[in-house]
Structure 1
Amino acid sequence: MNVLRAVVTLCLLLSATVASAQATAECPNLPADSGLQWKEQAENNYLSCKATTADGREVLSLTLTQSDPNIPLSRPLRQEKGTFAGESMYWYLPDLGGQTPPGYADRRMTTVKLDKNKYAQISLYPSDSKELGSLQTLTRGMALGSSAVASER
């Protein structure tokens, strides 16, 4: 009977630890004057943050994960150099299989290895080149909290 109690107690403690780790994962802070708000979704090993405008248009998608997204980023699609969370990277045009929908020239994406088993995948969906520059500046200034994609998850 004592073994059963110990197992049940251990299971409850582990469940509480996992729930606590998931509850503390947060999207990075957005500047108050950006006019953007996060829609956040946390799962087992990733955190999805989608920044939307007041009218609901998604302009930025940030996924933090423990798994390498393994997205091939082709050098011919390379665009601007940038930084995210202190790491150097390049922005790329997304590979849409040769399709160029309206606004394609201003879309960007990248992946960044942040640490061992910690990655960020970022996509920008600006309405024009001015908004693209603003979004790139915004991502350059983002600071990730220590709880983002916590290793306990």
Structure 2
Amino acid sequence: MNILRAALCLSLSLSAAAASAQSPTECPSLPASSGLQWQQQAQADFLLCKATTGDGREVLSLLLSARNPDVPLTRPLRQEKGVFAGESLYWYQPDLGGQEPPGYANRRITVVKFDKNRYAQISLYAGDAQELGSLQTLTQGMNLNPTAVAAGR
């Protein structure tokens, strides 16, 4: 029985080590011209990056994980086409249960599977249509290659 427990513990620790080895440890670099800064929260199974403006307003959140966030994205809420990490995507207006608070028209969300067992959930909280376009362009240019991220420090 002790051998079985030891084998199970070893298997679980190897699985956790493999998962953490595949998870990024830093947010992708942001262009200096964007005026945005990351606030980062790293856990064993995900990395949450929140981009804020100089006055502290959150405009973008990026959740990187080995698990599919399984966010329902329905066709009636589909908006623009885009690209992230080399993968094609559609941006959606978030489903807020029929509510449309101020700024709703410029909010977007998407989920992208960009590598084997690697997912990105991206949310945009733009102040206007121009900022929305800028944020979509910014996310399109993000490099998730760990070497590039480390070099961008």
Do both share a fold (TM > 0.5)? Answer: yes
- The aligned counterpart of 1:151 is none
What is the rounded CA distance, in whole Å, between the counterparts of 1:55 and 1:84 in structure 2?
27
Name the aligned partner's letter for residue 102 of structure 1. Answer: P
Q: Does 2:107 align with 1:96? A: no
**Which segments of 5 or more consecutive residues in structure 2 lack a partner in the other structure?**
1-13, 149-153
Note the C-alpha offset of 1:146.
Answer: 2.8
Match of 2:128 in 1: 128
Q: Deviations over 1:130-152 (max 9, x none)?
A: 1000000000110102379xxxx
SS in 2 for 1:41: strand
1:28–1:143 CA contact under 8 A, matched in 2 = yes
Partner SS state of residue 40, structure 1: strand
Aligned amino acid, residue 35 of structure 1: G
| Deviation, structure 1 residue 114 | 1.0
Q: 1:58-137 maps to which residues of 2 (within 5 A)?
A: 58-137=58-137
Percent identity (aligned):
69
Q: Which has the higher contact order (CA 8 A, sep 6+)?
A: 1
In structure 1, how many angstroms separate the alpha carbons of the residues matched to 2:59 and 2:94? 14
Unaligned runs of 5+ in 1: 1-13, 149-153
Deviation (angstroms), 1:116: 1.7
Q: Alignment length, in residue pairs?
A: 132
What's 2:27 paired with? 27
- Structure 1 residue runs of 4 or more that deviate by more than 6 Å after TM superposition: none
Q: Deviations over 1:103-136 (max 9, x none)?
A: 0001000000011210000000000001000000
Tell me the amino acid that sits aligned with residue 44 of structure 2.
Answer: N
Tell me the secondary structure at the aligned position of residue 127 of structure 2: coil
Amino acid at match of 1:34: S
* TM superposition score normalised by structure 1: 0.80
SS in 2 for 1:110: strand
Deviation at 1:45, TM superposition (A): 0.7
Aligned equivalent of 1:141: 141
**C-alpha displacement of 1:21:** 5.1
Q: Which has the larger radius of gyration?
A: 1
